Amino acid sequence: MQPSHKEESPEALIASMNRGGVPQKLQKEILALSEFHTYPAPGVLIGAFMVDWCLELLGADKTRKLYGVCETPKCLPDALQVLAHVTIGNNRLKIVPIGKFAITMNPPSEGPTADAVRVWVDLEKLKMFPTIDIWYANSPAFDKKTMKQQLFDEIFLAGKKILSTEKVRVKVTQKKKWKSVTCPCCGEKVPDYLIEGDKCGACGSMKYYEQIG
């Protein structure tokens, strides 16, 4: 992690977490998360408390196989990946970009559904922490040049106090067998379930590049 501001240095973060009474184990997780994210964004700091609470409610830790849904692509997915080993790559993290700062986590299930816990940032509870409140609302009243340290201190002091939770049920998609097929347009192989009509996604609706050489 290469901090661009003194408030973002590991030493400053540790001091701020100590002031907020953050447990040592979670402090280590937060430092690792900040390193993974490349800097301690406020969203990933809050995300650490969200994932930690989910794990507590599930009676689990990162050694247990878990699944997660993240309701925003911003910051929050990294907390799931670092603190719970729920990642895009291991196919246990689903991102639903609906713009809510919330996550849902559940253990594996052999059935069509799984009981889960959902944790989100509660707007009513944010009122107890005015700096977080104006930052979260993207208010012009928040000046990141002068208020970042105050924001970090409030986040570490708040911890779970700005969060709410509920028990939910999620749909489970079981793994299905697939075979490799060759796209007739580009000649590359893709899983059969990703073919769109007679072509792969890269030759169809998901095309994102043009060949230049």
How far apart (Å, rounded) are the C-alpha atoms in residues 62 and 32? 14
Q: What is the pLDDT of residue 213?
A: 79
Cα separation, 116 vs 154, whole angstroms: 29
CATH class for domain 6-171? alpha beta
**Structure-model confidence comparison of residues 175 and 1, the more confident one:** 175
All structural domains of the chain with their residue ranges: 6-171, 176-213
Q: Confirm if 86 and 105 have CB atoms less than 8 A apart.
A: yes
- pLDDT tens for 74-89 read 999 999 999 999 999 9
Would the pLDDT of 131 be above 90?
A: yes
pLDDT given for residue 2 in this prediction: 53
Inform me whether the pLDDT recorded for 202 exceeds 70.
yes
CA torsion angle 70 57 116 44 (round to 10): 0
Would you call 169 helix, strand, or coil by DSSP? strand
